Chain A
Amino acid sequence: MINLKINGFEVQVEEGTTILQAASKVGVKIPTFCHDPRLVPHGTCRICVVEVEGGRNLPTACTTPVYEGMNIQTESKEVVQTRREILDLVLANHPLDCLTCEKSGRCTLQDLCYQYDIKETTYVGERKDFEVDESNPFYYNDQNKCILCGKCVYVCSQLQGTEAIGFAERGFPTHIATPFNQGLEQSTCVSCGNCVSVCPVGALMPKSKEKFRYWETKTVRTTCSYCGVGCQMDLVVKDDKVVGVDPAMGASNEGLLCVKGKFAYNFVNHPSRLTTPLVRKDGKLVETSWDEAYEVIANKINETKETVGADAIAAFSSARALTEDNYLMQKLMRAVVGTNNIDHCARL
């Protein structure tokens, strides 16, 4: 065990712990843009710098392991001055679009500028000027708002394993792009949206069809119903309407989702979604109760079985049902009804 001091608090942590982890153990919050505990530490944004007694430079809390007797200040004058300078530099190359930006309200840049009282940049000079890549059907990439934290690149390569995006050019013109800048549509991107979920600013954003502000929404933790992985996710809900999905840290998904879980939620509030069973009466579909619906189904199955035989019956189930439900469906058909005539929409 290693003993150290953070803002005067005595802390004891295991060897190999980073300053950031040790600080969180004693409830000291250090701001981050680029840190993600699931990624290999990369120390890109430098906003998490802290002061270590006897150190020459300001090390980054997210990458620096603690050592015995370390004495750390996380909000010293020099640290605050440096963070303010970094924010000033970021803002010098960032459009101040908060009024209409959909990230507003849960944007790390906005939050930190508020925390450190940065109202506007003190620099004049060249700014980014990129075309927004809107070629992907589910999300867009607006590099004008990107702060180059690198998270999207590393999430795509290290966690998603797709490597669809990377850094293009170097120095000031550096930006996030697909190979040869061909655009997301032409790339190997599978639209999982995991990059979108980690972007700390409004650079990678879902193509939302709803207008909402984050402070108008609540989140509802649920399990994705598309497949048997059982990803945990938070529905972003405004006025009883799902307006977005965020991955949650579930045991099976560790904060990742696939394209279906992340983006295919519009069915929930779709006007033509069936919410009660329908039966055909006098040639017309009319709403009915579940009891009546089951009765109709059971009677028809029995009747058909007796008159024509079980193989005249087939069942078709939906990928939107759980894997377990689909299993039960085929079991019912094979063992109870007595036919192998089953099918499933995922096959189509």
Chain B
Amino acid sequence: MELFRSHVLVCGGTGCTSSGCQKIIAKLDEQLEKHQLEKEVKVIKTGCFGLCEAGPIIVTYPEGAFYSRVEEKDVERITEEHLLKGRIVTDLLYKDAVIDGEIKSVDEVEFYKRQQRVALRNCGVINPESLEEYIAFDGYKALGKVLTEMKPEDVIDVIKRSGLRGRGGGGFPSGLKWDFTAKAEGDQKYVACNADEGDPGAFMDRSVLEGDPHVIVEAMAIAGYAVGADMGYVYIRAEYPIAVDRLDIAIKEARKAGLLGKNIFGTGFNFDMEIRLGAGAFVCGEETALINSIEGKRGMPRPRPPFPAVKGIWNKPTLLNNVETYANVPQIILNGADWFAGIGTEKSKGTKVFALGGKINNTGLVEIPMGTTLKEVIYDIGGGIPNGKAFKAVQTGGPSGGCIPADHLDTPIDYDNLIALGSMMGSGGMIVMDEDNCMVDIARFFLDFTVEESCGKCTPCREGTKRMLEILDRITEGKGELSDLDKLESLSKTIKTASLCGLGQTAPNPVLSTLHYFRHEYEAHVNDKKCPAGVCQELLQYVVIPELCKKCGICAKKCPVSCIDGVKGKEVYIIRQEDCVKCGACLEACPFKAIKKG
């Protein structure tokens, strides 16, 4: 084996790929060759570091130096100064990696310090296209242990005792699901992995597949052994080309190494797997729609029961778990159920990955122990709200989750607490909103998504969500009535209780939670025809404050529709509201802040 004195990890996730990591790697190779460092420094293209916004990212070991937003021109300096002369290029480091002149290694950076990486443990650490590197980090050890030392029922018992719950949204106890599938009658069984990841903004599953694809291969083989399946399907959206490629490579490598296929580890256990590409419909993440789609049918949910564990793919018992759920499995097998159950809260064990986004300083992927409070995630890890704005709400659970206001920021994150707040865990989207967000507009935004993504099968969801959206549209246009709020509530109830699948059953959540916590904002739109946050265009008014107007006429010059009247130096300017198109140009132009929006 070759030994290197330094490893340079370059993030090759989707985020950093689009910000140009390919070029950085090429440049690094060129520079290393130029300085004849190829035998001393190894460049490794890894999976996602979770801080895509700061990409392209380079981390060097052994120092743990954390370079962010690296540009091609920076590579020369990093090579000459750091890799050749051993001097870290401080000004290229990540913003929080130098505190009071002291250099912090990547693990000490605030963003990573409080995280605990179980599902993401290999992401940004190993080369995802190398089976050897996965094995060097204990890969396939759990599969070996399971096949040679454990009976299927022992495996299920460990998963049950670990307290692992589904990370795909529902939070169903995984051990129970494995048990149901194992006990279901059938000459053929399947295991399947849900990598559809339809929540806008969520990318934890993609990151696992891009950064550590073998963990899914290994976990599915373990699951196959536990439930008695010899075939696995990974359903993954075609919009994830890098994840698809890396998983494909992993499957082929595993097959070549005898880790998939017949008689694995000489134990007589057979298991193989295939990838199925989805076309990117949100509803295809719903388990029965996903099964229809795998079978080549239109992705529409089926009634449950029968549950997939009894009648799944081609009506055979099928175990379906989410990517992140599977990613925990090998660690649970290796470290034991008690280790996993020791992390988290009473009913939610282990860690959870969240995709932090919206009005927050550090957007990206974070993995935290269950029970961490919302506040810790948003302020300590996420770095708080940018530009000194006030926090208003955090939306968890993706388009079917709810908005949680400031009073509840001390809530420890777990499945049950989020549901009690009218939201949910979902797949781990976490979008932060500040004072500039209008909650009616936010609810409308999420509902717009579900209306688009409803499969159209059942009446309450197909027709009902559309009518809710129309009502919200009217409210944001100032055409709402007070009775609309009651209508929204009663319609929500029908959609939640009578829809066929989880999409409809949760679609009203953003509306219900904002109506619950921010009813005053709705009332302002309806009664006063005002949008307190100044977001809803139709309700905005730009007005000149006469006392502040210096009659300079600059605003009138800037107005694209010439709707500001006045006489320069003589008369205060006035905006003709009926003609104003609400572009905001005057507000920006006025040097005396004499124009207000409201």
Bound together: yes
Give the interface of A toward B (CB within 8 A).
41-47, 49, 57-58, 60, 63-65, 78, 81-82, 85-86, 89-90, 92-93, 122-126, 147-148, 150, 166-167, 169-174
B499: chain A residues within 8 A (beta carbon): 46
Within the complex, which residue of A43, A81, A148, A172 is in contact with B500, where a contact is CB–CB below 8 Å?
Answer: A43
A41 to B464, CA, bound (A): 23
Q: Which chain B residue shows the least CB distance to A57? A: B497
For B457, what are the chain A residues with a Cβ–Cβ distance below 8 Å? 44, 148, 150, 167, 174
Q: Are B496 and A167 in contact (CB under 8 A)?
A: no
- Give every chain B residue within 8 A of A124 (Cβ-Cβ): 470
Chain A contact residues: over half helix, strand or loop, or mixed?
A: loop
Task: Tell me the chain B residues, 450-467 only, with Cβ under 8 Å from chain A.
Answer: 451-460, 462-464, 466-467
The answer to whether B454 touches A172, judged by C-beta atoms less than 8 angstroms apart, is yes
Q: What is the CB-to-nearest-CB distance from A92 to chain B, in angstroms, rounded to a whole number?
A: 6
Interface centre among B281, B300, B302, B463, by most A CB within 10 Å?
B463
**Nearest CB to that of A91 among chain B residues?**
B463
- Which of A44, A46, A82, A166 has the most chain B CB atoms inside 10 A of its CB? A46
Give the CA-CA distance A174 to B457 in the complex, in Å: 8
Say yes or no for B303: interface residue by CB 8 A criterion. Answer: yes
Instruction: Tell me whether A46 and B452 are in contact in the complex, defined as CB-CB below 8 angstroms, given that A57-B505, A85-B490 are known contacts.
Output: no
> CB of B498 within 8 A of chain A?
yes
Among A41, A85, A123, A174, contact of B456 (Cβ-Cβ < 8 Å): A174
14 A–B contacts, CB within 8 A, in A order: A41-B303, A42-B303, A58-B497, A60-B500, A82-B498, A125-B467, A126-B466, A148-B457, A148-B459, A167-B300, A170-B283, A170-B455, A172-B462, A172-B466
B303 proximity list for chain A (CB < 8 A)? 41-43, 60, 63-64
Asked if residues B454 and A89 are in contact (CB atoms below 8 Å), the reply is no
Complexed CA–CA distance, A65 and B304 (Å): 10
Option from B451, B456, B464, B505 in Cβ contact (under 8 Å) with A167: B456
**Please, which residue of chain B has its CB at the minimum distance from the CB of A55?**
B497
CB neighbours of B498 from chain A (8 A): 46, 49, 57-58, 82, 85-86
Once the chains bind, are A171 and B453 in contact (CB under 8 Å)?
Answer: yes
List of 9 A-B pairs having minimum Cβ-Cβ separation, nearest first: A174-B456, A43-B303, A89-B463, A63-B303, A85-B494, A171-B454, A125-B470, A172-B466, A170-B456
A171 in contact with B491 (CB, 8 Å): no
Chain A residues whose CB sits within 8 angstroms of the CB of B300 once the complex forms: 167
**Residue B298 is within 8 A (CB to CB) of chain A in the complex:** yes
CB-nearest residue of chain A to B505? A57
**Is the CB of B305 closer than 8 A to any CB of chain A?**
yes
SS class, residues of chain B in contact with chain A: helix
A85 to B494, CA, bound (A): 7
Q: What sequence of 0s and 1s flags, for each residue 294-314 of chain B, a beta carbon within 8 Å of any chain A beta carbon?
A: 000010101101000000000
**Contact flags B461-498 to A (C-beta < 8 A → 1, else 0):** 01110110010000000000000000100110010111
Chain A residues near B456: list those with CB within 8 A. 148, 167, 169-174
- Contact A82–B466 (Cβ < 8 Å): no
Q: Which residues of A contact B454 (CB under 8 A)?
A: 170-172
- A121's nearest neighbour on chain B, judged by CB, is B467
Give every chain B residue within 8 A of A47 (Cβ-Cβ). Answer: 459
Give the chain B neighbours of A63 by CB distance below 8 A.
303
Q: How far is the CB of B225 from chain A (nearest CB, A)?
A: 31
Q: Mark B76-96, 1 if CB is under 8 A from A, else 0.
A: 000000000000000000000
A46 near B500 with CB under 8 A, answer yes
Whether B462 contacts A171 by the Cβ 8 Å rule is yes
B464 CB contacts on chain A under 8 angstroms: 85, 89
A281 CB to nearest chain B CB (Å): 66
Task: Given A44-B500, A170-B281, check contact A147 B455 (CB 8 Å).
Answer: no
Q: Please determine whether A44 and B458 come into contact, CB atoms closer than 8 angstroms.
A: yes
Most central of B452, B457, B490, B505 by chain A CB within 10 Å: B457
Give Cα A58–Cα B466 distance, bound, in whole angstroms. Answer: 21
| B298-A167 in contact (CB<8A) | yes
Closest to A157 in B: B297
Residue of A nearest to B494 (CB): A85
* Residues of the A chain whose Cβ atoms lie less than 8 Å from the Cβ of B487: 122
Bound form: Cα–Cα A176–B24 in Å: 51
How far is the CB of B133 from the nearest CB of chain A, in Å? 42
Give 1 or 0 for each of B265-295: 1 = CB within 8 Å of chain A CB. Answer: 0000000000000000101000000000000
Nearest A-chain residue to B454, judged by Cβ: A171
> Separation in Å of the A113 CB from the closest CB of chain B?
14
A46 to B454 alpha-carbon distance, docked (Å): 15
Shortest distance between the CB of A63 and any CB in chain B (Å): 4
Q: What residue in chain A is nearest B467 (Cβ atoms)?
A: A123
Binary A-proximity of B500-515 (CB < 8 A = 1, otherwise 0): 1000010000000000
Question: Using Cβ atoms and an 8 Å threshold, which residues of chain B touch A42?
Answer: 302-303
Give the chain A neighbours of B283 by CB distance below 8 A: 170
In the complex, are the beta carbons of A86 and B455 less than 8 A apart? no
CB-nearest residue of chain B relative to A149?
B459
B470 touches A89 (CB 8 A): no
Point out the residue from B298, B302, B463 that lies within 8 Å of A90, measured CB to CB: B463
Contact check, A86 vs B494: say whether CB atoms are below 8 A apart: yes
Instruction: Give which listed residue, A45, A166, A173, contacts B459 with CB less than 8 A.
Output: A45
Tell me the minimal C-beta distance from B253 to chain A in angstroms. Answer: 37
Whether the Cβ atoms of A90 and B459 lie closer than 8 Å is: yes
When distances are taken between beta carbons in the complex, the residues of chain A under 8 Å from B490 are 85
Beyond A46-B458, A46-B499: 11 further Cβ-contacts under 8 Å? A43-B303, A46-B459, A85-B498, A86-B460, A86-B494, A90-B459, A90-B463, A147-B459, A170-B454, A172-B463, A174-B456
Return chain A residues, CB-CB under 8 Å to B451. Answer: 171-172
A46 contacts across to B, CB distance below 8 A? 458-460, 498-500
Which chain A residues border B505 with CB–CB below 8 Å?
57
Write out the residue numbers on chain B whose beta carbons fall within 8 Å of the beta carbon of A58: 497-498
With the chains together, A93 CA to B281 CA distance in Å?
24
CA distance A310 to B559 in the complex (A): 104
Determine the residue in chain B with the shortest Cβ distance to A62. B303
A172 and B466 CA atoms in complex are apart in Å by 7
Determine the distance from Cα of A78 to Cα of B452 in the docked complex, in whole angstroms: 28
Distance in angstroms from A82 CB to nearest chain B CB is 5
- What's the nearest-Cβ distance from chain B to residue A72, in Å? 15
Tell me the bound Cα distance from A124 to B471 in angstroms: 9
Give the nearest-CB partner of A173 in chain B. B456
How far does the alpha carbon of A171 sit from the alpha carbon of B499 in the complex, in Å? 13
Q: In the bound complex, how far is the Cα of B497 from the Cα of A118, in angstroms? A: 20
Residue with the greatest number of chain B CB neighbours at <10 A, chosen from A63, A124, A172: A172
Report the bound CA distance from A195 to B496 in whole Å: 31
CA A124 – CA B487 in complex, angstroms? 12
Contacts of A167 in B (CB 8 A): 298, 300, 456-457
A86, B498: Cα distance in complex, Å:
9
Kindly state the separation between the CA atoms of A41 and B453 in the bound complex, as whole angstroms.
23
- Nearest A residue to B282 by beta-carbon distance? A170
Bound Cα distance from A78 to B487, whole angstroms: 16
Contact A45 B458 (CB under 8 A): yes
Give the chain A neighbours of B460 by CB distance below 8 A.
46, 85-86, 89
A86 to B491 Cα, complex, angstroms: 9
**Once the chains are docked, how many angstroms separate the CA of A81 from the CA of B491?**
10
Is A85 touching B500 in the complex (CB atoms < 8 A)? no
Given contacts A43-B458, A171-B462, contact A57 B496 (CB under 8 A): yes
Chain B residues near A125 (CB-CB < 8 A): 466-467, 470
Within 8 A of A (CB), among B154-190: none
B466:A171 contact, CB within 8 angstroms: yes
Taking the nearest CB of chain A, how far is it from the CB of B341, in angstroms? 27
Taking a contact as CB atoms under 8 Å apart, the answer to whether B459 and A86 are in contact is: yes
The reply to whether B491 and A85 contact each other, CB–CB distance below 8 Å, is yes
Nearest CB in chain B to that of A58: its residue: B497
Q: How far is the CB of B452 from chain A (nearest CB, A)?
A: 6
Asked if B470 contacts A148 (CB within 8 A), the reply is: no
> Considering residues A60, A85, A148, A173, which has the most beta carbons from chain B within 10 angstroms of its beta carbon?
A85
Chain B 426-465 interface mask (CB, 8 Å, partner A; 1/0): 0000000000000000000000000111111111101110
Docked Cα-Cα span, A86 to B500, in Å, equals 13
A42 to B500 alpha-carbon distance, docked (Å) = 10
Q: In the complex, A123→B457 CA distance in Å?
A: 20
CA distance in complex: A172, B450 (Å): 11
